[in-house]
Amino acid sequence: MNAQLVQFLQLSLNGVAIGSIYALVALGIVLTYKATEVLNFAYGDILMMSAFIGWGLIAVVGLPFWLAVLITIAIAAFLGYMLDRHIMRTIVGQPQFAGVMLTIAVAFMLRGAVSMMFGPTSRNYPTPWSGQITHLGPLVIADLSLVILATALLVTALLFLFLRYTQLGIAIQAASQNQLAAYLCGIRVKWLNSLVWGVAAAMAAVCGLLLAPTALVDISLWFVVLKGLAALVLGGFGSVPGAIIGGLLIGLIEQFAGVYLPDGFKEMMAQLVLIGVLIFWPRGLLGEAHGRRV
Amino acid sequence: MSYFRVENLSLSFGGVHAINDLSFVVSQREIFAIIGPNGAGKTSVFNVVTRVFSANNGRVIFDGRDITDTPRHRIVDCGIARTFQNIELFEGASVIDNLLLGCHRFPYGNLVAELCWLPGIRRVEAEARAKVEEIIDFLELAPYRTHIVSALPYGVRKVVELGRALATQPRLLLLDEPASGLNPEEARDLAFWIDDIRSDLGITVVMIEHDMSLVAEAADRVMCMNAGQLLAIGSVSEVQSNPDVVAAYLGT
Amino acid sequence: MRFDYDTSYADPQRLLRYRSQWIAYGTLVLALIAAPWVLPPYYVGELNYLFIVSIASLALMILTGYTGQVSLGHAAFMAIGAYAHAWFLNNGLGFIASILCASALTAAVGLVIGLPAIRVSGLYLAMITLAGALVTEQIIGRWKDVTGGYSGLSVPAPIVFGFDFGSLRAFYFLCLFVLVLVLSGLLNLMRGRTGRAFVGVRDSEAAAYTLGIWVGGHKVLAFVISAFVTGIAGALLAHHLQFLTPDGFGLTLSMELVLMVVIGGLGSLRGAVFGAVLIGLLPTLISKIKPALPASIATQFGLETFVFGLILALFVMFEPAGLNGRWIKLKVLLQNFPLYRRNTFRRGKVYMHSERYR
């Protein structure tokens, strides 16, 4: 194969690898959105905090990798549950803007707390796949990236089936569309919402633990939530398969922009895509069209 | 003499025909009621007239002018005002501010005059306030003048919405279920008000209603719709005794 | 107890109706005029900063509080105003001409951003403005010829009609004058037809259409006005900072502006000023508290972010009407004393209603 094609395929592979992270982030956000109609701006900070906790457990306390991962996910899930139960529940019934503001506030608090406790230096921790790469013909991909891709696909499939086919999943969607009616149908709305937040936080922990070895355990990890939002918008707001497709596409677009476009575009690409999609095609690829009945 | 005419109106959302080849005529200073079961397309007719949706087919003609394609915010300039089934008031504002917004369409001043609060603006504001006070008098809203709308009881909010529609000085008033949620006393007041609107203010009224006693008391002619189509049209007694209408809507 | 006894239709719209208001605001104005000679220079500089962010906060209040258009990227407008003003000054324009051109440029950008806002609303607008702010930060950083990139751009002193306002006291009065001008203009706008129309667009677009309000046009107008005023604030900020770098106009400043507006109380200009004062003073307050905290917390730089988040969270959870809401409740308490009931402002239980399918 000639060099051009190899570069094209390698870029595509890299794009899919990084795109899987974006897809996972988008999935976590779409889950809370589908359940409580709140856009969780704190997702990136829960992600970042989990990375720091993981580092602490692996590098400082010295626990084996898998144990540290499980404990971190448990801590994050617990935190997510408590977050909804004590903080998000106080603003039920207020317009969507209040929810946005509150999650931004929580994001600030998490960011500040982690900054204060761990300081500004970047850190790293070893994983079972550190330094290992797989060769696919002339192409190279890190084992860690394969793991990320597999995790993303697995989580997407589980989430999709859960929301579509289980009673719990349908109950969650019902509660988001008309909360009072859901109560009257006997759905334990408050408990469900907190459960969803816990699951979303657990997903954030998974993202953080998988992303950190590549991007380093650093405060700036929270930025990935902005890429996740771009992925969500591209794929179509409120759509679970859309989140995955959007994430992969953003990853691919970024990689290609880094090579084929002038310097500096790569960092902006996700935001430019978000702006472009919202202006010209607000529904995104697979989004639902919403109208207001008067 | 047709004042307000709907010709062969059709509206569909995907495969759902909300309105199917509907035609009717309303004369000037008439009180015209539209009845029918839920989902018959009654509110859709209002939505098409006020350009919330664009009709797939047909025309709407008001006072000799084809208004099927006028931009949505110009309908009130043609002289048509409406109220909504689920109250669409400005919840954060007071009753006075809601009514003053009804006067939005009248000539005002330019941006610079507003920024400097010139005497011309002060005069226009005072005139608008005077007009709005007349409506407050007419609808007995004086106790609620400065209250924020979100704090008011349901019946009062319906009246505020009626007042806001009147503040635009319309020639045709579209009322979407004005009596829903009102107790019998308030509904009786409403019947008197609608009659006064017609006789004192000279406004033609088209109203969607489920309260048959209000319809019998206030309306001149009635139209019954079902599944987007015209079922019966005529005087109140004619429509009430029509067997199709009884089967589809009124019951025995 | 206060009972309004209006004798003319103009009375309810008067800005200063009651004698207590004349006294209170009069005292405030006198105190502000006397301040540069009474306070130490550090605090005069602080007040300058507060005036400038108050202007920006007022602008954002018009957009978000009155018209309901969320903007999480308003620092971009300040950046455009600041850099454009510096560029015009460096290229020979006089102060007033430069500030007006810079603000007009910012307003033009506001127009461009306002146009998609017609179709896009709420959450989506929040995301688009956030993305826009990030893109602007990148553009400023990379367009080195005009903005000096990350090496920075120096700003000449403000010279109006030959008089140098660069000194601390002169600049103080310049900022105060601009603030009063902007405040009175916006107060007039909001008590007239435009202000009512903005509130109409915020509360119910469907009803606004039926009343003859061109919803799209008013949204764009809100963006243009807001951007213009923010451009003015940005230009003044340029003189305050004296040296411009892109990281001074990043996400942090955008978030601070949003915090000012939300904590101040959406929908009131007084709230915008309250919020600006609180958030503008917060870094100073925090640095005063730091010596009292244990060394491990005080030395890290995350404390400010944490406190910002904490204050925002507390206000959103327990006082959604913001500082202005508290002010009104306090006023009613004092007016009705001792007959004030604790549940005067309590509203019934509300359930979440989906805004997707309204």
Query: What is the C-alpha separation between C121 and C124, in angstroms, rounded?
Result: 6
**Hey, are the CB atoms on C197 and B72 less than 8 Å from each other?**
no
Predicted confidence at residue C358, as pLDDT, reads 36
Q: How much is the average pLDDT of C273-292? A: 89
Other Cβ atoms within 10 Å of A203 Cβ, number? 27
Residue C200 has pLDDT above 90, yes or no: yes
What's the sign of the alpha-carbon dihedral A80, A84, A85, A87?
A: positive
Task: Answer yes or no: do C212 and B105 touch at CB < 8 A.
Answer: yes
Residues of C in contact with B92 (CB under 8 A): 199, 202-203, 267
Burial code (b: 16+ CB inside 10 Å, e: under 16) for B41-74 equals: bbbbbbbbbbbbbebeebebbbbeeebbebebbe
Beta strand residue intervals within B122-171, DSSP E: none
**Residues of chain B contacting residue C202, judged by C-beta atoms under 8 Å apart:** 90, 92
Taking 70 as the threshold, does the pLDDT of residue B138 lie above it? yes
Interface of A with C in 101-160 (CB under 8 A): 101-102, 104-117, 119-120
Q: How far apart are the first and last CA of chain A?
A: 60
Instruction: Name the nearest CA neighbour of C175 among C123, C238, C101, C219.
Output: C238
Measured between beta carbons, which residues in chain B are less than 8 angstroms from residue A294? 43, 47, 52, 84-86, 88
Interchain contact A29–C (C-beta under 8 A):
no
pLDDT of residue C295: 65
Order of all β-strands in the sheet with B57-62: B16-26, B4-13, B57-62, B65-66
B130-158 average pLDDT score: 92
Q: Between residues C2 and C166, which one has the greater pLDDT? A: C166
- What are C110-139's pLDDT values in tens digits? 998 888 878 877 788 888 898 888 888 888
Phi, psi of B62 (to 5 degrees): -125, 120
Helices C303-318 and C251-264 cross at an angle (nearest 10°) of 30
Tokens of B15: 């495969």
- Which two three-digit tokens encode residue B14? 């995907």
CA distances from C75 to C64, C81, C255 (A): 14, 10, 8
What does the pLDDT read at residue B247?
86
Parts of chain A with a pLDDT under 50: 292
Which residues in chain C touch residue A100, judged by CB atoms under 8 angstroms apart? 70, 123, 126
Residue C356 has pLDDT above 60, yes or no: no
Instruction: Supply the pLDDT for residue B140.
Output: 92
For chain B, report the end-to-end CA distance as a whole number of angstroms: 36
* Average pLDDT over all residues of chain C: 87
AA letter at B214? L
Interfacial C residues in 6-65 facing A (CB < 8 Å): none
The closest CB to that of A90, out of C296, C317, C353, belongs to C317
Q: pTM to 2 decimals?
A: 0.91
Q: Does A37 touch chain C (CB under 8 A)?
A: yes
Does the pLDDT of residue B1 top 60, yes or no? no
Q: What is the mean pLDDT of residues C288-307?
A: 75
pLDDT digits (tens, 9 = 90+) for A87-120: 988 888 788 888 889 999 999 999 999 988 888 7
Residue C350 CA: distances (Å) to CA of A56, A179, C186, C347: 42, 10, 33, 8
Interface test with C, best of A278, A280, A290 (most C CBs within 10 A): A278
Q: Does C334 touch chain A (CB under 8 A)?
A: no
A222 touches A215 (CB < 8 A):
no
Kindly indicate whether the ipTM for this predicted assembly is greater than 0.95, answering yes or no: no
Tokens (6 digits) for A85: 């139960």
- Of the candidates A48, A42, A63, the residue with the CA atom closest to the CA atom of residue A122: A48
Whether CATH 1.10.3470 fits C41-342: yes
Percent of chain C past pLDDT 90, that is, above it, reads 51
DSSP C247: G
Rg of chain C, C-alpha, whole Å? 21
Residue spans of beta strands (DSSP E) within chain C: 153-154, 159-160, 163-164, 243-244
Residues of A in contact with B88 (CB under 8 A): 294
* Residue C256: predicted pLDDT: 94
Cβ A192 vs Cβ A175: under 8 Å: yes
C-alpha closest to that of C280 among C66, C43, C65: C43
Reference B190, options B213, B228, B233, B159; nearest CA is B159
Q: Which chains touch B (3 or more CB pairs under 8 A)?
A: A, C
Beta bridge partners of B66: B61
Question: Mean pLDDT for chain B?
Answer: 91
Q: How far apart are CA A162 and CA A168, in angstroms?
A: 8
What the block records as the tokens of A60 is 């400082």
As to burial, measured by CB atoms within 10 angstroms (0-12 exposed, 13-18 middle, 19+ buried), residue A94 is: middle
| Chain B contact set for C194 (CB, 8 A) | 111, 114
CB contacts of B85 in chain A (<8 Å) are 294
Is the preceding peptide bond at C338 cis, omega within 30 degrees of 0?
yes
C120-139: string of b/e by CB count within 10 Å (b at 16+)? bbbbbbbbbbbbbbbbbbbb
3-class DSSP state for residue C263? helix
Distance CA A162, CA A156 (A): 10
CATH number of A8-122+143-280, picked from 3.40.50, 1.10.10, 1.10.3470, 1.10.1200? 1.10.3470
Q: Which of B89, B85, B69, B212 is nearest to B151 (CA)?
A: B89
Residue spans of the domains in chain A: they are 8-122+143-280
| A171-174 contacts, C-beta under 8 A, 24 or more apart | A172/A34, A172/A35, A172/A196, A173/A34, A173/A35
* Interface size, chain A vs chain C, as Cβ–Cβ contacts under 8 Å: 163
Beta partners for residue B82, in sequence order: B174
Distance CA B98, CA B148 (A): 10
* B104 closest CB neighbour out of C204, C213, C347: C213
Task: Over range C316-344, report the average pLDDT.
Answer: 86
Checking C247-250 for CB contacts under 8 A at 24+ apart, the result is C247/C137, C247/C150, C249/C75, C249/C76, C249/C78, C249/C79, C249/C82, C249/C136, C249/C137, C249/C140, C250/C75, C250/C133, C250/C137
d(CA C140, CA C236): 18
Residue whose C-alpha is closest to residue C137's, from C58, C82, C209, C183: C82
Minimum Cα–Cα distance from A88: chain C residue = C317
- Under the banding of pLDDT at 50, 70 and 90, the label for residue B222 is very high
User: Residue B52: closest CA among chain A residues belongs to which residue?
Assistant: A294
Q: Give the phi and the psi of residue A14 in degrees, each rounded to 5.
A: -60, -45
pLDDT digits (tens, 9 = 90+) for A205-250: 999 988 888 888 888 888 899 999 999 999 988 788 888 899 999 9
Both tokens assigned to B161:
């919405």
Residues 6+ apart with CB under 8 A from B188: none
Strand blocks (E) in chain B: 4-13, 16-26, 31-35, 57-62, 65-66, 80-82, 172-176, 204-208, 221-226, 229-235
CB pairs under 8 A between B and C: 102
How sure is the predictor about B9, in pLDDT bands with cuts at 50, 70 and 90?
Answer: very high
Best-predicted range by mean pLDDT among A175-184, C79-88, C163-172?
A: C79-88
Q: Which residues lie closer than 8 Å to A22 by C-beta, 6 or more apart?
A: A224, A227, A228, A230, A231, A246, A247, A248, A250, A251
C249-277 average pLDDT score: 93
Look at the block and give the residue holding tokens 């009651």. Answer: C18
**Residue A133: partners with Cβ closer than 8 Å, 6 or more residues away:** A140, A141, A142, A143
Q: Is C91 exposed, middle or buried (0-12, 13-18, 19+ CB in 10 A)?
A: exposed
The answer to whether A104 and C261 are in contact (CB under 8 A) is: no
B164 confidence band (pLDDT: 50, 70, 90): very high
Q: What is the pLDDT of residue C357?
A: 44
**Which residue has tokens 């507390």?**
C314
In angstroms, the CA C175 to CA C172 distance is 5
